[in-house]
Copies of this chain bind each other. A is one copy, B any other.
């Protein structure tokens, strides 16, 4: 076994404790690290040039060429490889039937300054999105519509939580992520080209055939409260989607997708 490989079989091992702690936001922030699990997701990451610093493997794993490629890449990159039991992997990822592999990644730079808005025609913007599943789904939708990334405004769920990473189906590695307060975002947006669009009931036009223009920033609000009125009023375009039933709103990730696909078709 090379010096970068080791085996862990004890639940109370300090490395297991440190890995497990990454399920909690404050520990993630302190460590600047997050967990991602599953061969498919880690392969997506590798193909996007993200390698885990630590690769955790089940000692019951089946051989797989993609897993071998992953191990090789991590070793070549100077990363650490840990073999452990399915029970301990389950404890680390918090999943009853854990995948055979998990990785620890360094968190990305999520400053607005690091975004190149000219790199894509569509960007998704979420304000105070609380559900990690919705956040991950927005990342996944962003990937599908060819968005540049997702900008998280105000107090959102953590995009580096195990749940958000899982729901993103790997898009956390293909989409750019930024986190900002509205007070930072608005001046940044207005410092360059960009059309801010939101689904709204206030002074809105039908979402189909609306005059979208690139780069188009498609914004959705909090699951319960929607967008604050000043945010809506700051938009360049407010659009409305048909609501044929009793409800007056869609799930936030659904609204972002329906609107995002409409923008994609019209740009």
Contacts and interface: CB of A to CB of B under 8 A. Distances in A.
B245 A174 contact: yes
B246 A44 contact: yes
A232 interface: no
A20 to B, nearest CB: 22
Nearest to A258: B261
Q: Which of A140, A145, A261 neighbours the largest number of chain B CB atoms within 10 Å of its CB?
A: A261
A249 B142 CA distance: 12
Contact of A171 (B241, B245, B258, B261): B245
Interface residues of A, number: 35
Given A170-B247, A254-B137, A242 B145 contact: yes
A156 interface: no
A244 B265 CA distance: 12
A18 interface: no
A98 interface: no
A242 B257 contact: no
Interface string A254-267: 10011001001100
Given A146-B244, A251-B253, A257-B257, 10 more contacts: A137-B251, A137-B253, A144-B242, A144-B245, A171-B245, A174-B245, A242-B261, A257-B258, A258-B258, A258-B261
Interface of A: 44, 47-48, 133, 137, 140-146, 167, 169-171, 174, 208, 241-247, 249-251, 253-254, 257-258, 261, 264-265
Leading 3 A-B pairs by shortest Cβ distance: A146-B244, A143-B245, A254-B257
